[in-house]
Amino acid sequence: MIFLSKRPGAKETALFLSRPKKDGGWTEPVNPGEPWNAEYGPYTPLVSPDGKTLYFSSQKGVFDRLPVEAMSYEKFLDTIRNPGNGVGDIYSMPVDALAVPLRPEP
């Protein structure tokens, strides 16, 4: 199971993973850490029907941090018209890249 949660002590919601136990319960949720949560600030996680691809949305963008240098008007327009602009993007990645086993516990 892949879900979002604002666990105790967290500043914002984060992606967590849990897997089924043979006895019917679920394992303790695991935060896959960076870069998934810090870099993307994911929300709306969905897994493909074959269980191989994770899709999620993110509103993180180039304007989340102070610019390193002045930006020309042309560069600004290019930035706001492309992914990573902070308005909302959809990402996909292999579930295996999370490096957390999702198969049932033995």
Q: What is the pLDDT of residue 58?
A: 83
Is this structure's pTM higher than 0.85?
A: no
16 or 10, which is more confident:
16
Count of alpha carbons within 13 Å of 24, Cβ hemisphere only? Answer: 0
Count of alpha carbons within 13 Å of 87, Cβ hemisphere only? Answer: 6
User: What are the CA-CA distances from residue 6 to residues 1, 11, 16, 41, 102 (Å)?
Assistant: 16, 8, 10, 12, 21
47-100: per-residue pLDDT in tens?
899 988 989 888 877 777 777 788 899 988 988 888 888 788 888 888 887 765
106 or 88, which is more confident:
88
Note whether 2 and 17 are within 8 A (CB).
yes
Domain ranges of the chain: 2-98
Confidence check: pLDDT of 102 > 60: no
